[in-house]
Amino acid sequence: MSSSRDLALSILQKTYGYRSFRGEQAEVIEHVNSGRHTFVLMPTGGGKSLCYQIPALCREGVGVVISPLIALMQDQVDALTQLGVKAAAINSSMTAASIEKTKKLIRAGELDLVYVAPERLLMDDFLALLHQSKIALFAIDEAHCVSQWGHDFRPHYTQLAVLAEQFPTVPRLALTATADKPTRKDIVERLHLAEGRTFVAGFDRPNIHYSIQLKSSAQKQILQFIKESHPRDSGIVYCLSRKMTEETAAWLVTQGCKALPYHAGMEAEDRARNQTRFLREDNIIMVATIAFGMGIDKPDVRFVAHMNIPKNIEAYYQETGRAGRDGLPANALMLYSMQDAVMQRDFIEKSEAPDAQKRIERQKLSALLGLCEAASCRRKIVLEYFGDSGEPCGNCDTCLSPPITFDGTVAAQKALSCAYRTEQRFGVGYLIDVLLGKEDERIQRFGHDKVSTFGIGKEYAQSEWQSIFRQLVALNLLTVDGSEFGGLKMTPQGQAFLKQKETLHLRKFMGKAKAATPRQARTVIAFDDENDGELFAAMKTARLELAREQNVPPYVIFHDRTLRELAIHKPRSLAAMSQISGVGEKKMERYGDTFLQVIAEHS
Ligand code: ADP
Ligand code: ZN
C-alpha cells in the first residue's frame, strides 16, 4: 500500500513538479490504484485530472478518458505531452491515418492515456480494440452528463453502462464538479459504482469573489466592471441570446477591450477560431452563450460575468466556476432583473419537458432568485444548496457591504393582496401602478381603481416596490405564472403568510447608483515589489513566444502561478528553479534555461 503512495508521490513531484497532494487526491489515487471503482465530486480547480492521470501512470496499460468535448481534447493532450506523458486523443476531427496510429499504440501498450468521446468509445471496433489491449482504468469525465437530473444530459453517456458489463475488472472512475443528490445517485447507479467509494470534496471555491447586482444598463455595468477590476485579464461574459453576444462583443471592442463572440449559431470554423484565440492569447474576453465553457480548463480566467441570470444555482456555480481554476483571486459578477426571471420562467413553461421535470426546474429557478435577493452571504447560500455548510465568507458582496433590512411585513401584505384583488394575472408594473393609485386607462377598464388595494402603497416609490416584488418572488410568496405578461400569482406559502401574519424582513432598496459600484475583489495578480511585476510581464512574453512556436496555449508551458513564484523567488540555477511549484523534470529540461535567462536579464 505505502509503495503505491510513494510511487504516486514521486510522479507528482518529478512529472508535475508539485510538492504535495491536495485534499483527497492521494486517497482517490490509492483507491483507484488498488483496482476499485470511484466517484469523485470535486469543485472545478480542485485537481480532478490528477486523480485519474496519476493512476494511469502507476498502473499497467492505457488509461481511457471519456470526455464529451472533442474540441478540448487536444489541449489536454498537449499539456500532458509537455510533461513527458504519452497521451493521445481519438476523435472525428482527426485523420484516419492518425487514428490508426493511435490505435496501434494502444494495442502495443505504448500509451499512458487516451482521450475519447463516448460516441467513439461505444463503436464496436473501438470496444474490440480495448478488449485486445491492456487497460489501466476508465475515467468518465463530466460524469453529470449521465443523468437527466444533471444540467447537461447526453444520451450517449447512459450507454457507458457497457463498461461495467464488458470490462468488470477495470476500475471505473466517474468525475464531476456539479451534481446534486439525485444526480449523484443517478451517476452511481448508471455507471454501476455502488460497490466503489464516493469522494465528495467541499464545493467551496474560496478564491472566487461573488457579487450580484441589479441590472440597470447591463453593457455599461459590465464595462465598468472590466475597466475597474480586470483591465488586463482573460474573462468570460455570459449572455442569454446569440444576438446579444454579438452586439456586446462588438460594443466592448469599440470601448477598447479585446472581446470575441461565441455561440452555437456561428459557423463552426469561426467558433473554433475564437475559442482557440481565447485559449492561446493572453487577456481575451469571450462574450458567449452557455454553449461556451464546458471542459474549458484555462486556468487563468480571472472573471466570469453574467449579463442575465443563469438557469439555476447549479448552472451559476458551474459557469462562475470557470474563473480562477489556478487558485488565484477571481471575480464572479451577475446582473439580474425581474425581466430575466420572467424570461427563464417562460423557457421552462414552453419547453417540451414532462411536468415532473418542469416542476423541478421551477423550484430550481426560485432558489436562484432567492440567491439574487439574499441579504446574507452568497457563498453560504450556494454551498448550502449543495448540502455544504459554512460561515459567512467575507469574500462576497453581501459580506463586504451588508444590505440594510427593514420590516417589510405590511408592504408584503399589501403587495400580495393587490395581486389577489386583481385576479392574479398581472405583472409587476401593473400591480405597482394599482398600489400607487395611478390614473390609467387599463386599470379603469378592468375596474381595478375600485379595489381595496388601489392607492394604498404611496409610502414607497416605484423602484422600492419593484425591489419588494422581486423579493416576494425570491421568497416564493409570489410566483411568475409563465405567461408572456409575467403575471404574478400567490403561492401556497404566500397564502399562509397572509393568514399567519408573520413578520418579514426585507432588503432595503438602496438605489441604482449604489448598486452599480460595489466593492470588488482586486484580482490583478499583485506584487509587493514593482520590479517583480515587470519580471512577471517579461516572463509572460517569453512564455507566449514559446507557446506560439509549438502552437499550444501558454498555460501548458507554465501557469501564471508558477511564473509568479519565479518572479518573486528569482532562482539563479536549475536546481533552485526545480523547487518552484509547477516545474517538473521535463519542463525544466526544456524551458529552464530560457526563464533563467529572463530572470538574469532583469536583475
Ligand atoms: P479540475 O479538473 O478539478 O477542475 P484540474 O485537474 O484542472 O482541476 O486542476 C486544477 C489546477 O490545479 C491545475 O492547474 C492543476 O495542475 C493544479 N493542481 C492539481 N493538483 C495539484 C497539486 N497537488 N498541487 C499543485 N497544483 C495542483
Ligand atoms: Zn459571503
Q: Best substitution site from 76, 298, 325 to test ligand 1's pocket, by max atoms within 8 Å of Cβ?
A: 325
CA of 419 to the centre of ligand 1 (A): 51
Q: What is the mean pLDDT of the chain?
A: 91
At residue 208 the predicted structure's pLDDT band, cuts being 50, 70 and 90, is: very high
pLDDT digits (tens, 9 = 90+) for 131-140: 999 999 999 9
* Nearest alpha-carbon partner for 487 in 446, 528, 543: 446
Nearest CA to ligand 1 atom 16: 47
Q: Long-range contacts for 416-421 (Cβ within 8 Å, ≥24 apart)?
A: 416/472, 416/477, 416/478, 416/490, 416/494, 416/497, 416/498, 417/452, 417/453, 417/498, 418/451, 418/453, 418/456, 418/457, 419/478, 419/488, 419/489, 419/490, 420/490, 421/448, 421/451, 421/452, 421/453
CA of 42 to the centre of ligand 2 (A): 21
Nearest CA to ligand 1 atom 9: 47
Nearest CA to ligand 1 atom 5: 47
- Which comes out higher in pLDDT, residue 175 or 523? 175
pLDDT digits (tens, 9 = 90+) for 323-362: 999 888 999 999 999 889 888 988 998 999 898 888 888 8
Is the confidence at residue 484, as pLDDT, over 80?
A: no
Residue 336, SS3 per DSSP: strand
At residue 151 the predicted structure's pLDDT band, cuts being 50, 70 and 90, is: low
How are beta strands 488-490 and 478-480 bridged, if at all? antiparallel
At residue 320 the predicted structure's pLDDT band, cuts being 50, 70 and 90, is: very high
**DSSP letter at 12?**
I
Cβ-contact 468, 414 below 8 angstroms: no
Q: pTM of the predicted model, to two decimals? A: 0.82
- What is the CATH architecture of 530-602? Orthogonal Bundle (1.10)
- Which comes out higher in pLDDT, residue 483 or 105? 105
Output the CA angle 320-525-21, nearest 5 degrees. 70
Is the confidence at residue 558, as pLDDT, over 80?
A: yes
CA of 367 to the centre of ligand 2 (A): 17
**Ligand with smallest separation from the Cα of 199:** 1
What was the pLDDT predicted at 58?
Answer: 97
At residue 513 the predicted structure's pLDDT band, cuts being 50, 70 and 90, is: very low
CA of 373 to the centre of ligand 2 (A): 14
What was the pLDDT predicted at 523?
Answer: 53
Pocket residues for ligand 1 (CB within 6 Å)? 18, 21-22, 25, 42, 44-50, 297, 299, 325-326, 559, 581
What was the pLDDT predicted at 314?
Answer: 87
Length of the chain counted residue by residue: 603
* CA–centroid distance for 182 within its chain: 20
Is the confidence at residue 214, as pLDDT, over 50?
A: yes
At residue 514 the predicted structure's pLDDT band, cuts being 50, 70 and 90, is: very low
pLDDT, average across residues 465-479: 88
CA of 212 to the centre of ligand 2 (A): 12
Nearest CA to ligand 1 atom 14: 326
Is the confidence at residue 592, as pLDDT, over 70?
A: yes
Cβ-contact 146, 158 below 8 angstroms: yes
What was the pLDDT predicted at 517?
Answer: 44
CA of 318 to the centre of ligand 2 (A): 18
Output the CA angle 276-277-282, nearest 5 degrees. 125
pLDDT digits (tens, 9 = 90+) for 264-314: 999 999 999 999 999 999 889 999 998 888 778 899 999 999 999 999 998
Q: Best substitution site from 40, 49, 115, 319 to test ligand 1's pocket, by max atoms within 8 Å of Cβ?
A: 49
Alpha-helical segments (H) within 18-123: 25-33, 48-58, 73-82, 96-107, 118-121
Nearest CA to ligand 1 atom 10: 45
* CA–centroid distance for 59 within its chain: 32
Q: Is 3-200 a domain of CATH 3.40.50.920?
A: no
Atom of ligand 1 lying closest to residue 299 CA: 14
CA of 333 to the centre of ligand 2 (A): 14
Atom of ligand 1 lying closest to residue 19 CA: 24
CATH 1.10.10.10 in the chain, residue ranges? 405-507
The domain defined by 405-507 folds into Arc Repressor Mutant, subunit A (1.10.10)
pLDDT digits (tens, 9 = 90+) for 360-385: 888 888 889 989 998 889 999 999 88
CATH 3.40.50.300 in the chain, residue ranges? 3-200, 208-400
The domain defined by 208-400 folds into Rossmann fold (3.40.50)
